[in-house]
Amino acid sequence: MNADDDRERLVSRRVLLGTIAVSSATLVLFTAGQSFSWLAPLNLFAPRVQGLGPQSLPVNKTARDAGVERTARSADWTLTVHGPDGVVEFSRTDLEGLPQTSATLPIACVEGWSTSAEWSGVRLRDLLDLVGGPTGATVRISSLQPRGPYRVTLMGPEFARDPSTLVALRVNGQSLDLDHGYPARIIAPGRPGVLQTKWLTSIEVMPA
Ligand SMILES: Nc1nc2c(c(=O)[nH]1)N[C@H]1C(S)=C(S)[C@@H](COP(=O)(O)O)O[C@H]1N2
Ligand SMILES: [Mo]
């Protein structure tokens, strides 16, 4: 082994160490978002945590991923409510004009997070009453989302008639963000997050 070999080895060792130093700096930078909020956009490798979405609430599926960006923003949007007495279409302004109720309720996602917020909007049972929905009825709630397993949910009367179950228009005092279900979403107490349907389009009273 001569001096040249030694120098070569030293150089490649330095290069190697340099690379390690750079990668760990990168790792620190990309996870520091967990500790320093101004680095949060770089928090690529961390588990999904609370507080990263709009309105300081997590988002499981964005409006863009759900394919509802255009339909949810449309000026023609209505919520159609079907019942034994007929079909009523409510614009967002119509819904805002009905009596508003607030409820502090969590969204509990199976992905392992749960966040509480103050939701407000129209009681689901008030809407069902307007179309003659019987108190024992199950309702089918549908999203604008064109496909996907969480597009439609059935809700039994124990939830549909609960005074805290809302067609929510606002969260923590602000109009719902598009990613949280604007123009309207369901919030019901004691149901898993997957059933808290976002971007509502229709609510149907099921035949008994
Ligand atoms: N239309 C629709 N609603 C949905 C979902 C969805 O993918 N599509 N995801 C559900 C799941 S799994 C959860 S945990 C909550 C999350 O609500 P958030 O994104 O406002 O926090 O929305 C629920 N509502
Ligand atoms: Mo979820």
Tell me, using a 6 A CB cutoff, whether residue 109 lines ligand 1.
yes
CA of 72 relative to ligand 2 center, distance in Å = 20
Model pLDDT for residues 38-89, shown as the tens digit of each residue: 444 444 444 445 457 899 899 999 999 999 999 999 999 999 999 999 999 9
Model pLDDT for residues 156-201, shown as the tens digit of each residue: 999 999 999 999 999 999 999 999 999 999 999 999 999 999 999 9
> How far from the centroid of its chain's Cα atoms is residue 132's Cα?
30
The label of the residue with tokens 């805002």 reads: 96
- Cα–Cα dist 108/188, whole Å: 11
Query: What pLDDT is attached to residue 156?
Result: 98
Structure tokens at 84: 């034994």
Share of residues in the chain with pLDDT > 70 (%): 75
Query: What pLDDT is attached to residue 43?
Result: 46
- Residue 29 above 50 pLDDT? no
The label of the residue with tokens 């997070």 reads: 113
Q: SS3 of 117, please?
A: strand
Ligand number, closest to the Cα atom of 168? 1
- Cα–Cα dist 194/60, whole Å: 9
Report the chain's mean pLDDT, rounded to a whole number. Answer: 84
Query: What residues pack around ion ligand 2 (CB closer than 5 A)?
Result: 60, 109, 193
- Residue 95 above 90 pLDDT? yes
- Residue 103 above 50 pLDDT? yes
- Residue 18 above 90 pLDDT? no
Q: SS3 of 53, please?
A: coil
Q: SS3 of 101, please?
A: strand
Tell me, using a 6 A CB cutoff, whether residue 57 lines ligand 1.
yes
Question: By the 8 A CB rule, do 179 and 63 touch?
Answer: yes
pTM score: 0.79
Query: What pLDDT is attached to residue 52?
Result: 72
Q: In degrees rounded to 5, what are phi and psi of residue 130? A: -65, -20
What average pLDDT does this structure show over 198-206? 98
